[in-house]
Structure 1
Amino acid sequence: MKAADLGLLRLPGSPTLSPDRRHAAVSLKRADLGDDRYYADLWLAAVDGSTPPVAITSGGLDTDPVWSPDGRQLAFLRLDPESGPQLHVVPADGGEPRRVTSHPLGVAEPRWSPDSGSIAYIARVPDKGRYVHPVLLTAASEPPRRITTLRYRADGLGYTNDRRKHVFVVDLADGGITQLTSGDADHQHVAWSPDGTRLAFASARHADRDSVPARDVFVMTLADRATQQVTTTSLRAGQPAFSASGDRLYFLGAAIGGPLERDVLQPDGPVGRRALRRSASPTADLRRDGRPGRTSGRACAGSGQRWGAHDDRTPRCGRPGSSRRPGEIVDVLAGPGQVIGFAAVDDTIVAAVADDTSAGELEGPDRRRREDADFIRCRALVGNVGAADAGDLGSGP
């Protein structure tokens, strides 16, 4: 491979599935050697492969698509060179994207409310007088800092103690933006309750967080912003997800001070918990029914070496007619390669997968070939064919 070949690669991000499971959307990133910059467009693909994929955005750096629960819109992040990624929405069938945020340091983690009327997200809030344009995203020309903690910067980012991450919600009807958290702590991994009245998130708010690398899960009631801590500062917890009934909360947790393991935990109350899965590989993502932050008995979790599915019902990813124990973990995609990201709605799963022959393809279930397989096999929905431009990308069986 030569340097000039870098412009031929298409790098898919994590996909999102429409609620009706008919379409998947994914960001395809490419390097433009002439412009000396990256571009990323959002592509829409039929899950059954019946029609060629089409681009629904172009000309920017568009990533992290998330389908609205009503199926009518996609939220995504578009890079603003002066402030970082900003939240946009676009009709699912194509149209002009609408920008809905203008934070000085960009945003991350967009999550739709159940009624599709609002989006929760994470944004860094700079201390007063810092990170003012034209400083942009660097702290090199900022005034000196007085550091009194051990944890004050991160690789690839720089200083963090003067730009904490907080939870925001934007109302799409009137454009109003509300900041829900504050203080000298980072907040992340926001998730809606099924009725839209509560938000869960993860944060390290304990006084000795500088020396104890724990992180807790909190639940906020939006009506009065009352916040309850639901874990006991004994794990590095994150990525919470409400059950479909809203009375249980699932999350990922890593033991602190021990081997690097991650469990999917189901709290039976503020203190009690029960492990649903333990993986020797660090678990990367927790999604249920394709909507991060909600579950109805089926869960998909990704690990460093493989990704599998947990199903409280008869698994739909095994050979037809097979029977598995409730709670048994089933690999739905295994073998050499890397799962870049995935999305699941009920029994439909799509994944962006890379291996030694491709920088990444969006793959979906091929039920025509399941009669001789223990696990779901996939067919390419969006290929990585080394095209000169994104318009040459195609689909195939």
Structure 2
Amino acid sequence: MMISYNRTLYYLLLLLMMSGCGGGGGVNVAERPAPDTGILVFVRDGNRLMTIRPDGTQEQEIPLTNAPSRLFDPVWNTKRTQIAFSGGPDSFETELYLVNRRGGEPQRLTNHPSYDGTPCWDVEGESLSWVTSKGNRGRQEVGEEVWLLPLIQGAVQQLTSDAIIAQTPTRSPKNELVYTNHKGELRLWNGNNTSRALGANGNQAAWSPDGTRIAFIQNGDVWTMRISDGTVAQVTNTPAQEEATPSWSPDSTQLSFAAKGNLYLVVAMGGTPQVLLSTGRDSFPNWTRK
């Protein structure tokens, strides 16, 4: 089934989750899984960066000064010292920012009149891939592609040119890049502005730390795809709610995701999602080692 995907739908679903809107029922809540290594960063109330351990302990805020009014897509670097995110007055006019894990004033990385978002780190933590319209189309989504932003040295460069609308890039442990195009296809970037379809449709892709699988959202549920043979598997089945922004545990055995303003953990092979936070105010979880 072909899935049409765009940024408006992406952020609309996330706003619905923040407000707790949607059908009744939801996830069957069970006991939390045993503590795992790592720590999650997430957004609360749309404008606060928070962290929490996967066993539900040590929840705390990362204090920010002079930060944008709305925050989106926080993601740890591989050294676990910095967090990149996008922010702005709304989801159409955002820039990329970088902040130390202990907080402070975020460093602004881009300066475009329209959209810059969904950053992902390279393995070395020396550059960011992100989606940008480069200010060419104002508030329109057409023309968004994946670009590379070196943080130490080098020039900004465009990576994709076939997407029309590109979204949510993700990197493998070998720095391979996957993104979603305007048809909802998951595509592997081959270099030289070319890519190939992976045989699955979805969005908000996240590559597992062990490099073997990609998690993604399809029809509001979490799915995974095995890279070696393209086998897809459904992880969640929750008709009453829309899941978003899956993120892997450091050992590639669990996934976190957001739904209706709550955060959940689930075994990557499938099972009953476990509630991590049930505030109705949280979104964009991203998991890394402590």
Q: TM-score, normalised by structure 1?
A: 0.53
Alignment match of 1:288 (pick from 207, 214, 218)? 207
Structural mapping, 1:197-346, within 5 Å? 197-205=126-134, 207=136, 213-224=142-153, 226-232=155-161, 234-246=163-175, 248-254=176-182, 261-279=183-201, 283-289=202-208, 296-304=211-219, 306-313=221-228, 326-334=229-237, 336-341=239-244, 342-345=246-249, 346=252
Contact 1:90 1:98 in 2 (8 A): no
Could you tell me how far apart the structure 2 residues matched to 1:382 and 1:215 are?
Answer: 35
Return the alpha-carbon distance in structure 2 between the equivalents of residues 349 and 86 of structure 1: 22
Structure 2 gaps of 5+ residues are 1-12, 22-28, 279-290
Question: Partners of 2:239 and 2:140 in 1: how far apart?
Answer: 39
Q: What SS does the corresponding residue of 1:195 show, helix, strand or coil? A: coil
CA distances 1:77-110 after superposition (whole Å, capped 9, x unpaired): 233xxxx612244566326534134425232211
**TM-fit CA distance, 1:184:** 1.8
Equivalent residue for 1:379?
A: 272
Looking at structure 2, the residues matched to 275 and 214 of structure 1 have their Cα atoms a distance apart, in angstroms, of 19
Q: Unmatched 5+ residue regions in structure 1?
A: 1-12, 15-26, 32-42, 52-66, 126-156, 255-260, 314-325, 367-375, 386-397
AA aligned opposite 2:33: V
- Tell me if 1:119 matches 2:34: no
CA positional deviation for 1:229: 0.2
Rounded to whole Å, the distance in 2 between the matches of 1:236 and 1:94 is 38
Q: Which amino acid aligns with 1:191?
A: C
Residues 67 and 105 in structure 2, CA contact (< 8 A), matched pair in contact too: no
Aligned counterparts of 2:220 and 2:101: Cα–Cα separation in 1: 39
Q: Secondary structure at the match of 2:41?
A: strand
Question: How is 1:16-31 mapped onto 2 (pairs within 5 angstroms)?
Answer: none
**Cα distance in 1 for residues equivalent to 2:43 and 2:58:** 16
Instruction: Name the SS of the counterpart of 2:74 in structure 1.
Output: strand
Indicate the residue corresponding to 2:32 in structure 1: 46
- How far the C-alpha of 1:205 sits from its partner, in A, is 2.1
Deviation at 1:30, TM superposition (A): 7.2
Counterpart contact for 1:91–1:97, Cα < 8 Å: no
Higher RCO (CA < 8 A, seq sep 6+)? 2
- Contact 2:32–2:275 (CA under 8 A) maintained in structure 1: no
Q: Which amino acid aligns with 1:301?
A: F
The corresponding residue for 1:364 is 266
2:110 is equivalent to residue 185 of structure 1: no
Question: Cα gap change, 1:103/1:225 in structure 2, threshold over 3 Å: closer, same or farther?
Answer: farther
Aligned-pair identity (%): 16
Range that drifts further, 103-112 or 192-201: 103-112
Give 1:186 deviation, angstroms. 1.1
Post-superposition shift, 1:274? 0.7
Q: 1:242 to 1:44 in 2, by over 3 A?
A: farther
Sort the Cα spacing of 1:222 and 1:47 in 2 relative to 1 into closer, same or farther, 3 A: same
Aligned CA distance change for structure 1 residues 203 and 173 (closer, same or farther; 3 Å): same
